[in-house]
Amino acid sequence: MSELKGIPESMLIPLAAKARETLSDMPIIDDPLSVKIIKEIDDLLLDTYVDWLSQLGISIRTEILDEIVINFINHANHPFIINIGCGLDTRLSRLKLNKIPWIDIDVPESINLRKRFFNETYFYKMINKSMFDYSWIDDVKRNVHFKEDSEILIIFEGVLMYFEKEEVEAVNKEIARSFNQHHLVIASEFCSKFMTKHTNNHPSVSKLSSKPLFKFGYNNVVELKDILPENWKVVKEYNYFDRYSHRWRYLKWFKYIVYLKNRFNNKIVIIKNT
């Protein structure tokens, strides 16, 4: 099933995972909008696209990024948030950030679909461009809320692992150059090198008819220095194994073995310019 009612299946995994978690007995997240969208499409998607492992990982990822966004807003005088590769993300609604300047960016196909469920506002805008079409940066700078003293948070959620190392490095370099006068925080999700070699074993991604591949990941955070501009510094790393041990079943023991912890789960890294 490559497409359902015009929605590419790759956009449905995180949506279905958050909806399924919300409907569970003791949910990590509460995302009624994801539930609403899934029900508008097809309830059967809750079981078609999501296994327990993906549901847990995406829920933890969502919780971590929610915390990062709230913390950023609480400490920024003039917050400005850019979400690259947004898909059908519902964070803006879930966190009720109606008066925070926020831009969602994705390829035209995704944004066109997104507009079936989301409306732009004075503070919220969508840009239908690839992250490699750097004219999106000009669009951002023309935004009415973008100022010289804007403090910027850029989110890469479930995106960078699908691109080659050189492509990720190029995007980082362009962002660093374009926003070098701003306080910049990057929240990026990465998979491990191990997972780039075993996408066909991923419980949800492997089921997609498009057969996307994970292309870039790291095992040790020091490896990221190869893709970061000189003035960017990793300030924190979150590993999903560190949360909700009781939900990881037999995998819960991996967090005590560094070799396995670094290779069998995704991480979110916080990067700042200096």
For 193-249, write each residue's pLDDT tens digit: 988 886 655 555 555 555 567 899 999 999 999 999 999 999 999 999 999 999 999
| Structural domain includes residue 92 | yes
The whole-number pLDDT of residue 199 equals 60
2 confidence band (pLDDT: 50, 70, 90) = very low
Q: Do the domain assignments include residue 46?
A: no
What is the rounded average pLDDT for all residues in the chain? Answer: 91
Q: Does residue 224 lie within any of the structural domains?
A: yes
What pLDDT, on the 0 to 100 scale, is given for residue 187? 99
Given the structure tokens 């009781």, which residue do they identify? Answer: 246
Phi, then psi, of 261 in degrees rounded to 5: -60, -40
Read off the CATH number of the domain in which 192 is found.
3.40.50.150
Q: Is 20 a member of any domain?
A: no
Q: Which of 236, 146, 157 lies closest to 190, judged by CA?
A: 157
57 belongs to a structural domain: no
Q: Is residue 34 assigned to a domain?
A: no
Give the per-residue pLDDT at 3: 47
User: pLDDT tens across 167-194, in order?
Assistant: 999 999 999 999 999 999 999 999 999 8
pLDDT recorded at residue 25: 95
Give residue-wise pLDDT tens across range 14-50.
Answer: 999 999 999 999 999 999 999 999 988 877 666 766 8
As to burial, measured by CB atoms within 10 angstroms (0-12 exposed, 13-18 middle, 19+ buried), residue 5 is: exposed
Count of domains in the chain? 1
For range 256-263, the mean pLDDT: 96
Q: Among residues 223, 226, 225, 156, which one has the least CA distance to residue 192?
A: 223
Separation of alpha carbons 193 and 216, rounded Å: 7
What's the mean pLDDT in 261-267?
Answer: 94
**CA 263/CA 14 separation, integer angstroms:** 21
User: Model's pTM, two decimal places?
Assistant: 0.93
Mean pLDDT of 85-92: 96
Instruction: DSSP letter for 191, please.
Output: B
Distance CA 2, CA 222 (A): 37
Residue 214 lies in a domain: yes
User: Tens digits of per-residue pLDDT, 115-143?
Assistant: 999 999 999 999 999 999 999 999 999 99
pLDDT at residue number 72: 99
Residue 196's nearest CA partner among 97, 126, 96, 266 is 266
Q: Alpha helix (H) ranges present in 76-199?
A: 91-94, 108-114, 135-141, 165-178, 193-196
Give the pLDDT score at 11: 82
Mean pLDDT of 78-94: 97
Domain that holds residue 106: 75-273
Question: If pLDDT is split at 50, 70 and 90, which confidence band does 12 have?
Answer: confident
Classify residue 236 by its DSSP letter: E
Phi, psi of 267 (to 5 degrees): -135, 155
Residue 9 lies in a domain: no
Per-residue pLDDT at 210: 53
Separation CA 71–CA 234 (nearest Å): 17
